[in-house]
Structure 1
Amino acid sequence: MKSLPAKSVAVFAVTFGITISFVLLHHPNPSPVKPDPMARSFVLWLHGLGDSGPANEPIKSLFTSPEFRNTKWSFPSAPSNPVTCNYGAVMPSWFDIHEIPVTAESPKDEGSVLKAVQDVHSMIDKEIAAGTNPNNVFICGFSQGGALTLASVLLYPKTLGGGAVFSGWVPFNSSMLERVTADARKTPILWSHGMADRTVLFEAGQTGPPLLGKAGVSCEFKAYPGLGHSISNEELRNLESWIKSRLQSSS
């Protein structure tokens, strides 16, 4: 359930380093400074089971478009909790998971999910209080973090910029949708899932968009053939474009 294994992180770090070096060496002379039309934005990234926030920080290095120059990134780490699917072993976990692989019919621990949602909402509230427009707040997550992203966005009372779910699932029963406010229904969802995923089955991801559609929530679903339980560069490039198209200017 980890999003970026230690080995992968090392590879990503090297790749990013090469990319950054190339940009620095080949960047043209800077043009005169102009007023910055981009408002402050916020991207909150929620990692998968057993992972950590710092291990995922290299992700932000891929987002090099000028639109992200005023973006604040946050990579929190989940608290350590016993996890049922891992025989009660204590590890970083946003909420309890009862079985692996996760299927469309897997048991849902709504109590621990709602507790985690409250923590995410506190992070969002703090950022909005600091002056960020809710329309420029984006919550993203992989696997367990993707499931938490979905619940957090849907249960937040305001319209946000968007929620991006990678290899996630619906961690609550359909009755939970009755708690989604009219403003929350306006927050768009991007859902990406590998078709070769053996940890969170593709079918678990597929059940999400139709359920959201019935609740009036807009969800763009993207399937990635051959992709297992991981995040690809293609998915992240698509995420960059998706967020860019929704960022609000300061004007």
Structure 2
Amino acid sequence: MCGNNMSLPLPAIVPAALKATAAVSGGCLAAKAFAGIQTPHSPFKPVTLNVGMTMPSWFDIIGLQTDAEEDEAGIKHVSEKTKTLIDQEVKIGITSHRIVLGGFSRDGALSLYTALTTQQKLEGVVALSCWLPLQYTLKYRLPCIRSEMHVLQCHGEVDPLVPNLCNLSNITYNTYPRMPHSACPEEMMDIKQFIDQQLPPI
């Protein structure tokens, strides 16, 4: 929610000021007026990693170690919902290669997983302070990165929550000194530059 009052959620879909020719899906991602922006709101649910306390989350997070158990059913369920949003954008005239997914932490993880499993050929992914979930199911898809889509992965060098591990090769991978599990102005500029480059006006 980018620091906004969570009792007053922002609109989930922000229409383009002009005729939309591209779509950006994910919280806290900037795009020009020609791109429609979707920021779906996650439901509140108990999260194991949060000592079972309720918080906004698409799926349960059990642990963040590379060998931690994962909520496979939950991840796949919400990924299918995200794919439905992608299909809706394509149906209204946005070609799939003009769509970028992205998000922070678990939303970035969901974006990576969805982009690697959708049948649509997306333009790219912005993955912020996140990890690649269900890696064992994706080994056959990893070589497709870069040839099919562009990935910007950003991570703070002192993130105490999500390990600073680049799970993918052949991507743009930026790290930021002294940045914890958060964001910084330099990262925001890198995101803007990435989206401007991948979704130029047409």
For the aligned pair, the TM-score class normalised by the smaller chain equals 0.7 to 0.9
**Runs of 4+ residues over 4 Å off in structure 1:** 179-185
**2:176 is the counterpart of 1:230:** no
Task: Please give the alpha-carbon distance, in whole angstroms, between the structure 2 residues aligned to 1:219 and 1:109.
Answer: 26
CA drift of 1:89 comes to 2.4
TM-score (norm 2): 0.83
* Cα deviations by residue, 1:71-113 (Å, 9 ceiling, x for unpaired): 11111101222211123223221111013xx233332222211
Structure 2 contact 145–151 (Cα < 8 Å) conserved: no
Return 5+ residue gaps in structure 1 as ranges: 8-35, 47-55
Same amino acid, percent of matched pairs = 26
Higher helix share: 1
Tell me, in whole angstroms, the C-alpha distance in 1 between the residues paired with 2:124 and 2:197.
Answer: 11
Question: What are the superposed Cα offsets for residues 186-240 of structure 1, whole Å, 9 maximum, x if unpaired?
Answer: 11111000010001121xx32x12xxx3xxxx42111111110011121111111
Larger radius of gyration: 1
How many residues end up aligned between the 2 structures? 190
Structure number with the bigger relative contact order (C-alpha 8 A, sep ≥ 6) is 1
Partners of 2:195 and 2:189 in 1: CA distance: 10
Aligned to 2:13: none
Call closer, same or farther: CA 1:185–1:89 in 2, change over 3 Å: farther
Correspondence 1:150-161 to 2 at 5 A: 150-161=112-123
Residue aligning to 2:34: 70
1:119/1:181 Cα in 2 relative to 1: closer, same or farther (>3 Å)?
farther
- Deviation string, structure 1 residues 143-201 (Cα, Å, up to 9, x no partner): 01111010011111122110010000011132333367969961111100001000112
Contact 2:116 2:138 in 1 (8 A): no
In 2, the alpha carbon distance for the partners of 1:85 and 1:39 equals 39
| Normalised TM-score (structure 1) | 0.68
Gap runs ≥5 in structure 2:
6-17
- For the aligned residue pairs, the C-alpha RMSD in angstroms reads 2.6
What is the identity, as a one-letter code, of the residue corresponding to 1:228? P
1:5 and 1:144 map into 2 onto residues whose CA distance is 16
